[in-house]
Chain A
Amino acid sequence: MTSAALRAPALLLRAVAYEFRKRIQFRAGFFVREVLNGTVEPLVMLFVYTALYGSAAAIAGPGAGPGAGPGAGPGAGSEVGSDPGSDPGAAAVALGGWTYPEIIQYVAGLVVVRKLIFHSRALDLATEIFEGRVTKYLVMPFRFFVLHQGRFLQFTLMQVVVAGLVWLIGYAVAPDHWLVPVSAAATLQAGTLVLMGSYCCFLIFFTLNAMAFWLDVVWSLLVMAWFVIGFTGGALVPVSQMPAAFYGVLSFGFPYWMITAPIELLMGRLGTEDFLFGAALVAVQLVALEVLRRWVWRRGLARYVGAGM
């Protein structure tokens, strides 16, 4: 009994080591994939937001117009941008409760947070099912899922390092605009939420991959799921900037607590109470997703044909 209990973690570690080795095999590819990946969207957001706040400021009046120096903006805004030349001068304008400098910080936070979120490319379960590679695990005395948990763990460990690296690079390049966490506690809370959400993503992607027992093509499902999760979580627009009705609904979903909320925690816009509420909410969803995953997996196995044998 106890030896079995001890073996599970040992096995998990083995799985982690195995996954790690597999991933760093292609070093150049690794850098491109892990570090550069996911920088395009934030850049696009940056341009769009700059234009948006710029024109909003123009409409609001000349007082908030370009060239307004530090401290020169009229009272409506909060902090003010530090780079008068390139700043559209919209610091004073708040759209949906967000000022321009805050949005910039949000985008910076997004770049880092996205590194930590498990994405579907890290699972190739659907192909394993199609090609019958699952067969070998089915006769082994262990839960196949452990291997995938190992993959999640390895992904997370590695991505924490990558995210740290990205944060440092960003800080070195633009220290004034970059998101600097308000406290260590906030960082910890934000990290916890992101990782819990990331595990939810992992469960969802696992479940969708398991749809390969029924469907020929699952990648479109995965792409769609990722888009929905990203959008409802705030990967394009902070959820709290969306219309109130949306915000009201979406703030109950784990995606919000995985993207928008952690960044707001880091910025100090949310506090410990929010964190506790969110963590409880996400925990419930995590359990529900795990139940769903098990159910789908079991139903799927009954349809497995063990192709290619």
Chain B
Amino acid sequence: MLEARGVRKVFRTFERVPGLRGILKNFVAREHVDIAALDGVDLRVERGESVGLIGANGAGKTTLVKILAGIVPASSGEARLLGRDSFDLRDAEKRRLALVMGQKSQLWWDLPPIDSFRLLKEIYGVSDADFAERLARFASMLDVEDRLKIQLRQLSLGQRMKMEIIGAFLHSPEVVFLDEPTIGLDLISRETIRRFLVGLSRQRSVTFVLTSHDLEDIEETCRRIVVLDQGAVAFDGGLTDLSQRVTGKRAVEVHVHPNARIDEESLVAELSLHGAELAGRSAGALTVIVSAERLAELVPRLFSLLEVKDLSVERQPLERLIREIYRRGIKAAEGGER
């Protein structure tokens, strides 16, 4: 369905030296810096898969999406989509493709969504019946039926995003790229959009590539996760693989008096007796990670070790592992788990 082989992307930027002398210098000899946004990415996505693409800011997620969708060419390596070179797609393939960008509108800014949709209908050659049916269904699923005739620029961020998603699905695409489709949205809108995506991927075997900084988005909509780190794939596997590594772990947050003196060394030693570790420490709080089975023996011990003001226990979220992966790579992150 889509494939990247050794994809590299180098952006060349020119440094602008500030000031008057800078202007002169820029004019005479511009100095450029090459930024390797992607550094040899290999990825293969089969039909019907839903892939969550995550990574820290600047990891190269958007760049990978742009290359796979054929918006920009790769500097080297090969990107293929629907059996063709991504940067050389014909109309036949483009008709099966959709792109949703959280940061950038796909619809026409100065038209009401309904007019944009009609334009898209024409562009993609959607039949009248299909158009009417899909529009009605999607609008009601996303709860924006009463906003279709308002100029796009006058809609709220969330309403606009929903319109973008409707626009992307009107032609019933087979491959959909979504780059941060839930950025800046409230909980309810995010929930609605996720449900919409999950519904569609179940009904028809749509292939999704979704990027988001909201792990819940990924957990709920994608079965497979690809973690990009500094332009390279740091993890690629099933969501269950990843979450098995963290389920069964609990994060205990212990609030103490900000001025309390704590002997960290002996605390760590004490914790390790219970198979627990100190995962974070701030002035007034400590975070301790422990396996679920040993929680009961650890908690009373914490009360005797520390002057506990408050204490809460949570399932360790996927987030922590991901953060570790961003920071240290998958191997080290797993090491830290034990």
A positions within 8 Å CB-CB of B: 3-4, 7, 10-11, 14, 18, 21-22, 25, 132-133, 135-136, 138-142, 302, 304-306, 308-309
Contact = CB atoms under 8 A, between A and B. Distances in A.
Q: 6 smallest A-B Cβ distances: which pairs?
A: A141-B91, A141-B94, A141-B95, A136-B106, A139-B99, A306-B71
B101 A141 contact: no
Nearest to B177: A139
B122 A309 contact: no
Interface stretch (B62-70, B129-137, B278-286): B62-70
A7 B119 CA distance: 12
A139 B104 contact: no
Interface of B: 11, 62, 66, 69-73, 91-92, 94-95, 97-99, 101, 103-106, 108, 110-111, 115, 118-120, 122-125, 179
B279 to A, nearest CB: 35
Contacts of A139: 69-71, 94, 97-99
B66 A306 contact: yes
A141 B124 CA distance: 7
B101 A309 contact: yes
Nearest to B11: A305
B104 A140 contact: no
Given A3-B125, A14-B122, A18-B119, A138 B111 contact: no
Nearest to B14: A216
Nearest to A142: B123
B95 to A, nearest CB: 4
Contacts of A306: 66, 71-72
Given A7-B122, A139-B97, A141-B123, 15 more contacts: A4-B91, A18-B108, A18-B111, A21-B111, A25-B110, A136-B104, A138-B70, A139-B98, A140-B94, A140-B123, A141-B92, A302-B73, A304-B72, A306-B66, A308-B104
7 contacts: A4-B125, A10-B122, A18-B108, A136-B104, A141-B124, A142-B91, A306-B72
Nearest to A13: B122
Contact of B71 (A4, A304, A308): A304
A56 to B, nearest CB: 47
Given A18-B108, A309-B62, A309-B103, A11 B72 contact: no
